[in-house]
């Protein structure tokens, strides 16, 4: 198992209070990592961190507010970082409001990019960054804006892996949690968390988008 690579590694989960972020934090913790999780609210992050057994710290960090980044960077350096922070809107382009579109882009696209840029100097260059998009990037579901934003997040993996080499950069593109795809297993947050953990641990996975949706 490559998971042993994560023993004693410091893993940052931006959006660690969320569905996928929480599962990822639990998974990397079981693989032996030390974990820092974030939420927009320091109180929520600390409360979520206290629910784990093991070395987990909670930090307040808003991906749209650069003034809050110093606290996050002070928690580093990090071996691996995964950014799951997002606010999505699943309306079509004719229905979405300007505020919803602005927020989705500000958090899920610009927020990911600025977080990555701030983090870069605090990352071990033998480590990795992982972002999360969504299968609607290439399998649209009647909501063009979220498809476009997810596709843009996916474009970051090959481009940043080249720009910031040797740091590895990957994107995980999941289907909807609870859906089976063409298979028989209903996807769970733990399935995505296992793939994120493998992506951190396996040093030959780089510059790529990994789909996980049951087919």
Ligand X SMILES: NC(=O)c1ccc[n+]([C@@H]2O[C@H](COP(=O)([O-])OP(=O)(O)OC[C@H]3O[C@@H](n4cnc5c(N)ncnc54)[C@H](OP(=O)(O)O)[C@@H]3O)[C@@H](O)[C@H]2O)c1
Q: Which residues in this chain contact ligand X in the complex, by CB under 6 A?
A: 15, 17-21, 39-41, 44, 61-64, 84-88, 107-108, 111, 132, 134, 174, 176-177
**How far is the C-alpha of 51 from the C-alpha of 61, rounded, in Å?**
19
Nearer Cβ to ligand X, position 5 or 35? 35
**Burial track 161-174 (b if 16+ CB lie within 10 A, e otherwise):** beebeebbbbbbbb
What sign does the CA torsion over 134, 148, 130, 87 have? negative
Q: Which residue has the tokens 């979520």?
A: 48
Give the nearest distance from C-beta 166 to ligand X in angstroms.
Answer: 26
Closest CA to 68 of 85, 55, 51, 82: 85
Give the nearest distance from C-beta 179 to ligand X in angstroms.
Answer: 8
Give the nearest distance from C-beta 15 to ligand X in angstroms.
Answer: 4
Other Cβ atoms less than 10 A from the Cβ of 60: the count is: 17
In the bound state, the residue with its beta carbon closest to ligand X is 18
Nearer Cβ to ligand X, position 5 or 153? 153
Give the nearest distance from C-beta 46 to ligand X in angstroms.
Answer: 11
Asked if residue 81 lies in contact with residue 11, where contact means CB atoms within 8 angstroms, the answer is yes
Asked if residue 26 lies in contact with residue 52, where contact means CB atoms within 8 angstroms, the answer is yes
Nearer Cβ to ligand X, position 90 or 164? 90
Nearer Cβ to ligand X, position 152 or 177? 177
Give the nearest distance from C-beta 65 to ligand X in angstroms.
Answer: 7
Nearer Cβ to ligand X, position 41 or 202? 41
């Amino acid at each position: 198992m490559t998971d042993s690579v994560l023993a004693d590694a410091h893993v940052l989960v931006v959006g660690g209070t969320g569905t996928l972020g929480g599962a990822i934090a639990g998974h990397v913790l079981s693989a032996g990592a030390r974990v820092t999780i974030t939420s927009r609210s320091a109180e929520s992050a600390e409360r979520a961190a206290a629910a784990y057994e093991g070395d987990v710290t909670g930090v307040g960090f808003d991906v749209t507010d650069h003034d809050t980044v110093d606290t996050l960077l002070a928690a580093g350096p990090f071996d691996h970082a995964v950014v799951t922070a997002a606010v999505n809107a699943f309306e079509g382009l004719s229905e979405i409001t300007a505020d919803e579109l602005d927020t989705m882009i500000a958090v899920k696209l610009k927020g990911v990019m600025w977080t990555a840029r701030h983090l870069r100097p605090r990352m071990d260059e033998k480590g990795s960054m992982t972002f999360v998009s969504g299968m609607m990037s290439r399998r649209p579901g009647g909501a063009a804006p979220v498809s476009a934003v997810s596709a843009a997040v996916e474009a970051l993996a090959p481009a940043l892996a080249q720009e910031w080499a040797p740091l590895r950069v990957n994107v995980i593109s999941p289907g909807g949690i609870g859906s089976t795809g063409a298979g028989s297993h209903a996807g769970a947050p733990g399935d995505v968390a296992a793939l994120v953990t493998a992506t951190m641990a396996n040093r030959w996975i780089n510059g790529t988008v990994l789909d996980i949706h049951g087919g």
